[in-house]
Amino acid sequence: MKIIINAYLSNKKTNGLLLLLSIYCGLLLLFRAKITQSIFYFFLVWNLFLAAVPYLVLTFAKQKIQLLENVKSRALLFIVWLLFLPNSFYILTDFVHLKKGNPELFWFDLVLLFSFASLGFLFGLLSLKEFKNCFSLFYSKTIITYSIPMICLLSGFGIYLGRFLRFNSWTIITNPFQLLIDSFQTLLSFKAILFSVLYGSLIYLTYQIKNHLNERA
């Protein structure tokens, strides 16, 4: 419990806002379930949890600095973080479910999906910021600067694997060979490359805009 409290207090303003937005999303979802007697969009709760995992991983890691100081544990932490990072931005693709909802609630569902997607995307951007803050202690500014756009592109590719091939972050443990085979085959697909570049560039540009606005604030 102490480590959770310390993690929250380490960036109380940001974490408080994230908590408030999460409650808002939850209330929207519960209200929809109440008026429709349907749990159709409840999958958003799981998707939002997965979106928060990369940010939470680095937030808790900062409370155990020895994890970052050790080369092996730092490498393992990075791999886990990278595997889950696409989930933060993947939730943006949940807009495909909008056409499956109740036509009479189209505008409500639009706000609902936008709220969850925006919060998930925010978790991802904050996670990239935490990556920069944590790993810049051990690597040069040049390495960090060039690694971020590559990470964004990999996230775009990860979103494609999740949305179209239905792979999960933990597939690398449950079915690694199939994941590797399908991933290499997917790299030959123009659609996959275009999708990865499109979403990767969106993530990177949004990240840069956020940083620019923060510097001017």
Those residues whose C-beta lies under 8 Å from the C-beta of residue 162, and which sit 6 or more positions away, are 86, 87, 90, 168
What band does 217 get if pLDDT is binned at 50, 70 and 90?
Answer: low
Give the amino acid at 84. F
For residue 76, give the H/E element and its range. helix 71-90
> Does residue 9 carry a pLDDT above 80?
no
Between CA 31 and CA 15 the distance in angstroms is 24
Structure-token match 């999303």, residue found: 25
141-167, pLDDT tens digit by residue? Answer: 999 999 999 999 999 999 999 999 988
Q: What is the rounded CA–CA span in Å between residue 58 and residue 61?
A: 5
Encoded amino acid at 171, one letter = T
CA distance 49 to 198: 24
Interatomic CA distance for residues 47 and 65, integer angstroms = 28
Residue-wise pLDDT for 74-110, tens only, equals 999 999 999 999 999 999 999 999 988 888 999 999 9
Q: What is the pLDDT of residue 147?
A: 96
Give 3-state DSSP helix, strand, coil % of the chain, rounded to 5.
85, 0, 15
Averaged confidence pLDDT in the chain:
91
Is this model's pTM higher than 0.85 or not? Answer: yes
